[in-house]
Structure 1
Amino acid sequence: MVSNNPAAYLPDSYKQEIAAVNVVAGRRGVLRTLALSLATSAIGLASARAQSGTATVESALIPSGATHLDALKKRLAQAPRRRDFKTVPMILDHQEQWDYEALTEVLSYRPAPRQAWDNTDIGGPWLNLMRNALNSQIWSFKHPDFLAVSVTHGTAQLALYDQAIWDKYRLTSLAGDEFKTNTPIIDRKSAAADSANYEDPAGPFSSDDNSIPALMRRGVVFMSCHNAIWEHAAALIKFGINPDKLSHAALAAELTNHLADGAVLIPGAAGTLPELQQVGFHYAT
């Protein structure tokens, strides 16, 4: 019978050499595969440990037993945020123009109580009041799943822009001389304090950490008002603070694209508050 394998016609000594080479190559392949597998496993383990460490830090400020709040926080982190607008209209009339998925998650949150804060003044006590509300609800009234939402507009909305946009558009002119930079969005050193000691007068639950990042880590949702963004763009154009000579719609889009990480863009604060109240959020100001 004729074989289709050319190696079948080689001398036996050649066949033995080829077999030996194949064995070595096979062993090398196995070793290479094993090495790659071990390296991949090590990288995966290191990555998992890094992610676990980050998650531990993030979840440390969520109170024990707050399973619903923690789950909401994770869903909101995964909800899409569109920040690539070229222009935006004065009135948002399509869901894709705001953070519809994230807003829906908040409106669907059912554990009670829930509180919606009508925050308008960047220089007011809004961050301190929300922090106090959290502390009382969690540790005094034993409601670990308590959810606080900042429906942010007016000059308070300025605190939800990143520092790059503050620098470019000199937002101090809108915020006031007290705010040379966007201090509410800066992490405080108390964030590194012992989160297990909630009575620490200088810890992450104290007035030393009245910051937007600290409250976000505790589950507070900061909503950003499109109407306020549109009005800020109008004010900047009026004051001649428009280095790129953008149209009103384009400048409002740029402000929107520079919202703080985690902020939820809504069509308008005054119009969204009734939506929150209808599903059980208590109004606060």
Structure 2
Amino acid sequence: MTINNSRRIALLGFGSFAVGTAALAADPSRAGTLIISPGARELPELMRRLGRAPRRRDFKTVPMILQNPEFWDDEALKEVIAYRGTRKQVWDATKLEGPWLNLMRNSINAQIFSFRHEDFLAVSATHGTAHLALLDQAMWDKYEIATLAGTKFKTNTLAMPKPAPADFAHVENPKSVFGPDGATIPALQERGVVFLACHNAIWELTAKLIASGKNPDHASHEAVAAELTNHLLDGVVLTPGIVATIPELQQAGFHYAA
């Protein structure tokens, strides 16, 4: 079989979608550029809106059940739910050691490069042990989170970007951001993936930490949960609870994947 690569090379040889649009779209606290298909229209707009949406990370205490939107990233979450792209998928991510990041990478690759849905949006509905990956290394160190993460994770390697080519000229390079090395949270964020955090997961993690004596400040449950919330990775969108947020996304047309 003869494959004509001329059109494919023309479509993919744009380089990274950088400067102007990417600079506006990126979250101000995140460095780097977005790696989004030049033909995308709705996804860059969503990234711009999320970049402008506030993330409150100055909590002193938080309650067990969030009853007021000021305790979660309400504006950013509403932007995700209202996304106008026709192809959108929510991943029910529960296991830190599971293949969730790699599956999202594969889904994005096929949707964009195979089916040509350049505005495809993947959302990680993160809870369970997978939620540990959404906390920065400072929290992993202070609360010895590695003891809950299993033998594979002595540090939060899923939050560390790996050196890799990051432009569309390298789309077939397995060592690029499009290959397995691109299955990290920062790399996927650069490709437009949105990671949702779960307040309930934070609250339950706090209970485990306190019960196991990993509470160096001898702080209250409400205060430890607040500190963990304040140390979510840049760009993450906090929800009042993932299990309750998933049907909100499904009602808005997101396809469920686990």
2:81 is matched with which residue: 93, 97, 107?
107
DSSP-derived class of the 1:82 partner? coil
Larger Rg: 1
Q: Whole-Å Cα distance in 2 between the matches of residues 76 and 54 of structure 1?
A: 12
Residue number in structure 2 paired with 1:280: 253
Greater than 2 Å deviation, 4+ residue runs? 50-57, 192-197
Is the contact made by 2:202 and 2:225 (CA closer than 8 Å) also made in structure 1?
Answer: yes
- Seq. identity, %: 59
Question: Counterpart of 1:219 in structure 2: which amino acid?
Answer: G
Instruction: Report the TM-score, using the length of structure 1 for normalisation.
Output: 0.79
Shift of 1:53: 11
The 5 A counterparts of 1:1-285 are 55=23, 58-59=33-34, 61-190=35-164, 192-285=165-258
Q: Whole-Å Cα distance in 2 between the matches of residues 51 and 172 of structure 1?
A: 37
Higher normalized helix content (fraction of residues)? 1
Residue number in structure 2 paired with 1:12: none
Question: Counterpart of 1:226 in structure 2: which amino acid?
Answer: H
Q: Whole-Å Cα distance in 2 between the matches of residues 165 and 195 of structure 1?
A: 35
Question: Counterpart of 1:187 in structure 2: which amino acid?
Answer: P
Q: Deviation per CA, 1:246-280, whole angstroms, max 9, x where unpaired?
A: 11111000000000000000000100000000010
Q: Deviation per CA, 1:63-82, whole angstroms, max 9, x where unpaired?
A: 12112101111110111000
DSSP-derived class of the 1:208 partner? helix
Is the contact made by 2:33 and 2:190 (CA closer than 8 Å) also made in structure 1?
Answer: yes
DSSP-derived class of the 2:215 partner? coil
Shift of 1:189: 0.6
DSSP-derived class of the 1:196 partner? helix
DSSP-derived class of the 2:39 partner? coil
Shift of 1:239: 0.5
Residue number in structure 2 paired with 1:35: none
Where do 5+ consecutive residues of structure 1 fail to align?
Answer: 1-49
Single out whichever of 261-270 and 66-75 deviates more from structure 2.
Answer: 66-75
Is the contact made by 2:200 and 2:241 (CA closer than 8 Å) also made in structure 1?
Answer: yes
Q: Whole-Å Cα distance in 1 between the matches of residues 245 and 166 of structure 2?
A: 36
Is the contact made by 1:85 and 1:254 (CA closer than 8 Å) also made in structure 2?
Answer: yes
DSSP-derived class of the 2:170 partner? coil
**CA RMSD in angstroms, aligned pairs only:** 1.7
Q: Whole-Å Cα distance in 1 between the matches of residues 174 and 230 of structure 2?
A: 37
Question: Counterpart of 1:265 in structure 2: which amino acid?
Answer: L
Is the contact made by 1:66 and 1:145 (CA closer than 8 Å) also made in structure 2?
Answer: yes
Q: Whole-Å Cα distance in 2 between the matches of residues 79 and 55 of structure 1?
A: 15
Question: Counterpart of 2:182 in structure 1: which amino acid?
Answer: D
* Change in CA separation of 1:161 and 1:52 when aligned onto 2, cut-off 3 Å: same
Q: Whole-Å Cα distance in 1 between the matches of residues 106 and 167 of structure 2?
A: 18
Is the contact made by 1:114 and 1:146 (CA closer than 8 Å) also made in structure 2?
Answer: yes
* Change in CA separation of 1:53 and 1:73 when aligned onto 2, cut-off 3 Å: closer
Q: Whole-Å Cα distance in 1 between the matches of residues 153 and 94 of structure 2?
A: 15
Is the contact made by 2:21 and 2:44 (CA closer than 8 Å) also made in structure 1?
Answer: no
Q: Whole-Å Cα distance in 2 between the matches of residues 270 and 53 of structure 1?
A: 33
Is the contact made by 1:157 and 1:225 (CA closer than 8 Å) also made in structure 2?
Answer: yes
Is the contact made by 2:133 and 2:156 (CA closer than 8 Å) also made in structure 1?
Answer: yes
